[in-house]
Amino acid sequence: MTLFDRLKQVASENPTGFTVKIPNLEPVTTGWVVAMKETQNSFGDEGLQRVIEVAQRTTQIVGGWKEGDLFYWDASFIVQSEKEAVQIGIENGQIAIFNLDTFEVKYL
């Protein structure tokens, strides 16, 4: 099964949202998660393909969630330092970032 197909399988089992490392698809459960500007508004199969390409050459972190009839995808940064996460979030034009340890949103 290709990485593309495996990610689609993870997505079907986690429609409310998921974030995994590629290529082993291990769930990411710790750290600050910051969405990558480069992959904003990526949806459908074409979007997933683009996100995989971006993630493979950058952070190796892929996530997705279902919104209505569409499945959205993104590549993300995962950092342990709040200061670094804030900086990356600002650089990527994010309104807020999320901490997977405390399950809290931080506005930038």
Partner 1 sequence: MNAIKNIHLLAGIVANVEDLEAGAALYKRHGNIEFKVITADESACELVVLARQGKNQAEKYLDPKELIERARSLFLRFLPGWKLLVRASVYNPHPSQQVTPQWITERLQARGWRLKDLINAVGLDKSNVSAWVGGLRPMSNIVKSLMWHVLK
Residues that bind partner 1 (CB under 8 A): 13-14, 16-19, 27-29, 33, 63, 65, 67-68, 95-98, 100, 103-105, 107
The Cα 47–Cα 40 span in angstroms is 9
Residues 52 and 4 sit within 8 Å (Cβ to Cβ):
yes
Closest approach, Cβ 69 to partner 1, in A, equals: 9
Our CB check for partner 1 shows the closer of 14 and 58 to be 14
Our CB check for partner 1 shows the closer of 54 and 63 to be 63
The Cα 62–Cα 18 span in angstroms is 8
